[in-house]
């Protein structure tokens, strides 16, 4: 069997920029075996030893932020003004997980009983396969990688073919930080069957996947015939925002636009549908138009560019199909005049931010994941209608309510079916709060003290003094 060649196509130019080799049949066997051998050694290290390695690695990661940020811009198209910040945010997340690791992984004492020592220990589970995406490769990787290593596991990582160097850079950084050989391995593949083969390996004990619902189901299916293996899934989102009538409209418009079109809308928790109280609907639309007039779409290598290309021609087609479907069903394109929207670079996958009004749930743009810079805004008559529509979705990752009455906002988010709910904020995974999807947005969790749970198994120790 020949080894596949995986080509990375630049979203800026639509030209090939990188090539990587996929896996051979021998690799499919040797990678999990190497991971198991490394695990059997690494699990015997102390937590303090593992903490020192992670601490050094995070320091190195931060020092290389500019070079890594430039690679990200070249490979996935986010403007250079923002990509180094992804690396520094990844470091901050990792440092938080490092800070809480001792408390998160400590033993739990049983009831005191004379003549006995009884406790529950959190022990590492074994080799872990992490499949992470292109849209925020460093952020999504550290969510799983850092607690996995701190808990004492070995890790196999596969990056998206769009951002292959992210995994290679992380492997080099951890090697420089003193991580033993084999504890962290990288492979490249564009084949779901190869990924399924690795997931089925008897050595692999957990698969962490971030990506589409379809691919998540394929990964889950591949692991379904083995009892010990666990699967953590972070999948799609169609995250709603509800703007109540009491808000500062200009401020809310600025926040919603940023939450909807940052990274060209290519975030699992970007705002993909907006519900606005009918009393302020027209004013809110006008405010959003004013905000959009100030954005610049263009070459992501220029520091004043705010919106770059989307990742692929296929993404362009999906976004355009959602817009077309909405317009054919009665929506209005209310995007304001903006010269940069009209004349983006001639090459690449540039999609202008689009504001749609008069939308409803008969339109794909309000029900299916768009993953692009589109802001569909729907009028609602009251809180009850807003919450009903927000919950009318197969997804449940995040949701937000915007109001001056924070007590009322707090009350409303109790009724929203999502793993993370915000009042007056959006698009922000906090490291001290669990990141978890409801419905088809996934299962399992990362971040916070609960982010360690899937990387350990419980072992109860029951020791009785020898009778004298």
Which tens digits make up the pLDDT trace of 392-402?
Answer: 999 999 999 99
- Catalytic residue check, 234: yes
Whether the pLDDT of residue 367 is over 80: the answer is: yes
Percentages of the chain per state (helix, strand, coil), in multiples of 5? 40, 20, 40
Q: Which residue has the tokens 């005191």?
A: 112
144, two tokens:
């799983």
3-state secondary structure of 271: strand
Contact 297, 352 (CB under 8 A): yes
User: Alpha-carbon distance 257 to 214, whole Å?
Assistant: 28
Whether the pLDDT of residue 227 is over 90: the answer is: no
User: Alpha-carbon distance 95 to 51, whole Å?
Assistant: 10
pLDDT of residue 1: 57
CATH 3.40.309.10 fits 239-423, yes or no: yes
Q: What's the number of CA atoms in the CB half-sphere (13 Å) around residue 141?
A: 30
> What backbone torsions phi and psi does residue 400 show, to the nearest 5 degrees?
-140, 150
Whether the pLDDT of residue 130 is over 60: the answer is: yes
- Output DSSP code: residue 334: -
Contact 50, 152 (CB under 8 A): yes
pLDDT of residue 2: 80
CATH 3.40.605.10 fits 5-235+441-463, yes or no: yes
Mean pLDDT score, 73-92 = 98
pLDDT of residue 8: 98
pLDDT of residue 224: 85
Whether the pLDDT of residue 317 is over 80: the answer is: yes
* Cα dihedral value 421, 426, 429, 433, nearest 10: -30
Q: Where are the domains of the chain?
A: 5-235+441-463, 239-423
User: Alpha-carbon distance 93 to 435, whole Å?
Assistant: 12
Contact 54, 150 (CB under 8 A): yes
User: Alpha-carbon distance 35 to 181, whole Å?
Assistant: 10
3-state secondary structure of 360: coil
Among residues 74, 86, 95, 234, the one annotated as catalytic is 234
Which tens digits make up the pLDDT trace of 394-424?
Answer: 999 999 999 999 999 999 999 999 999 999 9
Which candidate, 438, 398, 401, places its Cα nearest to that of 420? 398
User: Alpha-carbon distance 370 to 372, whole Å?
Assistant: 6
């Amino acid at each position: 069997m020949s080894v596949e060649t995986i080509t990375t196509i630049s979203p800026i130019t639509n030209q090939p920029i990188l090539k990587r080799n996929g896996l051979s049949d021998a690799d499919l066997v040797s990678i999990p075996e190497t991971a198991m051998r490394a695990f059997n050694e690494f699990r015997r290290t102390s937590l303090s030893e593992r903490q020192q390695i992670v601490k050094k690695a995070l320091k190195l990661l931060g020092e290389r932020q500019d070079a890594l940020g430039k690679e990200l811009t070249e490979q996935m198209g986010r403007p250079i003004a923002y990509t180094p910040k992804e690396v520094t945010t990844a470091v901050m997340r990792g440092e938080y997980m490092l800070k809480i690791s001792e408390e998160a992984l400590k033993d739990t004492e049983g009831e005191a009983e004379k003549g006995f020592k009884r406790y529950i220990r959190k022990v590492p589970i074994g080799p872990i396969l992490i499949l992470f995406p292109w849209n925020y490769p460093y952020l999504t990787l550290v969510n799983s990688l850092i607690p996995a290593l701190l808990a004492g596991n070995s890790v196999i990582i596969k990056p998206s073919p769009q951002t292959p160097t992210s995994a290679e850079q992380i492997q080099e950084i951890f090697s420089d930080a003193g991580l033993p050989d084999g504890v962290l391995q990288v492979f490249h593949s564009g084949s779901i069957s190869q990924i399924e083969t690795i997931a089925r390996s008897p050595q692999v004990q957990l698969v962490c996947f971030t990506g589409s619902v379809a691919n998540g189901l394929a990964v889950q299916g591949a692991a379904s015939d083995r009892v010990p293996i666990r699967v953590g899934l972070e999948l799609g989102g169609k995250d709603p925002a509800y703007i109540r009538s009491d808000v500062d409209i200009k401020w809310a418009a600025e926040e919603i636009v940023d939450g909807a079109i940052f990274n060209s809308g290519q975030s699992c928790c970007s705002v993909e549908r907006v519900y606005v109280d009918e009393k302020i609907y027209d004013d809110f639309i006008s405010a959003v138009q004013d905000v959009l007039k100030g954005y610049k779409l263009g070459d992501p290598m220029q520091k004043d560019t705010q919106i770059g290309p989307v990742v692929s021609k296929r993404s362009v087609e999906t976004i355009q199909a959602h817009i077309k479907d909405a317009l054919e069903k009665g929506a209005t394109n209310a995007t304001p005049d903006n010269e940069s929207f009209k004349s983006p670079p001639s090459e690449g996958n540039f999609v202008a931010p689009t504001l749609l009004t008069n939308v409803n749930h008969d339109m794909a743009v309000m029900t299916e994941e768009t993953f692009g810079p589109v802001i569909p805004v729907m009028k609602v008559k009251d809180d009850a209608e807003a919450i009903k529509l927000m919950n009318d979705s197969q997804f449940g990752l995040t949701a937000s309510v915007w109001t001056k009455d924070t007590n009322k906002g707090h009350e409303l988010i109790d009724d929203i079916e999502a793993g993370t709910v915000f009042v007056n904020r959006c698009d922000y995974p906090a490291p001290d709060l669990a990141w978890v999807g409801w419905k088809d947005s996934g299962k399992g969790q990362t971040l916070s003290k609960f982010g360690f749970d899937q990387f350990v198994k419980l072992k109860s120790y029951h020791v009785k003094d020898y009778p004298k």
